[in-house]
Amino acid sequence: MRKILVRRNNKYNYFEYKSEGGGSFQIFPDWVNSTDKIKQYFVEQKRDTPDIIFCNQEGQPAKLYNIKLDEKFAGHQFAMVDFEKKFLFEAEFFVPDAEKLNFLQDHSSMKQDQEAIKIENDSEKIKYYLNSVSDETKFLYQNFLAEKMTPDVLKELCENNARTYGLPAEIEIVE
The predicted model scores a pTM of 0.68
Q: Distances from the Cα of 122 to the Cαs of 96, 104, 108, 168, in angstroms?
A: 10, 12, 16, 34
pLDDT tens sequence across 102-152: 999 999 999 999 999 999 999 999 999 999 999 999 999 988 988 888 889
Q: For the chain, give the mean pLDDT.
A: 86
> Contact at 8 Å (CB) between 75 and 67?
no
pLDDT in tens, 41-68: 888 887 777 788 888 888 889 998 888 8
Closest C-alpha among 93, 97, 144, 91 to residue 120: 97
Residues 64/167, Cβ–Cβ less than 8 Å:
no
